[in-house]
Amino acid sequence: MTAGSAASRGLAGCHDCGLVSRVTGHACCCPRCGARLHLRKPDSLDRAWALVIASYILYVPANLLPIMETSSLFGAQSDTILSGVVFLWRSGSWDLALIVFVASVVVPLSKLFALTYLLVSVRRGSTSQPLQKAKLYRMVEFVGKWSMLDIYVVALLATVVKFQSLASITAAPGAVAFGAVVILTMLAAQSFDPRLIWDAAERGGRTAGAGASAAPGHSTSVGTR
């Protein structure tokens, strides 16, 4: 027998202090800190969908627009994420090129695909593999902070180069778009309530249990006639 969720028993954990309390109404507050209690995050799916769609839109200019502009005595140059990866690869720094490519291209896109999969799964009420989906969500949260590698590189290069007075390096519009994608995906992950995954699994378990209990009852009544 599968144990029911806390929400099915009218219990909710406070988002601020973590105290588990019984929700008695729509405007119930935490008895410890006074924060508003919710069985589930309000409008979780709608908020996450809006942030994910905005991330998809900004992902295009983040990769097409220059992320860094370099000015020196020898001229000016603009580099996108992919052109920087190609330059590192051709210069022999294939390991650094691979790290930048994974952290700046693969990780943000994988986060978007993972969040989209979770949102579609919850929206459709899928009951399959809830544990794997919960682990996928935790992985998305964990790798979120590693998506800012390009921004860190631009800031470090700008500081070092300007300190040595060799050239001038400034962040280009692509860096702003890329930073916005990272922030939006992190907000989308925070807006998504992973407990919705288990709600769908619990509803599916109750439906299956009701069907299994109905079948023996029907066969017994037929046998006694």
pLDDT tens for residues 77-107? 777 878 878 877 887 878 878 877 888 888 8
DSSP state of 145: G
Rounded to whole angstroms, how far apart are CA atoms 63 and 178?
Answer: 8
More confident of the two residues 104 and 117? 117
The two tokens of residue 182 are 């990272």
Q: Please compute, for residue 184, the number of CA atoms within 13 A of its CA located in the half-sphere on the CB side.
A: 22
Given this model, what pLDDT does residue 46 score?
Answer: 92
The two tokens of residue 221 are 């009544």
Q: Where are the domains of the chain?
A: 1-39, 42-202
Average pLDDT, the chain: 76
Q: Which one of 23-27, 56-60, 76-80, 146-150 scores highest in mean pLDDT?
A: 56-60
Q: Which fold has domain 42-202?
A: Butyryl-CoA Dehydrogenase, subunit A; domain 3 (1.20.140)
Rounded to whole angstroms, how far apart are CA atoms 196 and 96?
Answer: 39
Given this model, what pLDDT does residue 119 score?
Answer: 93
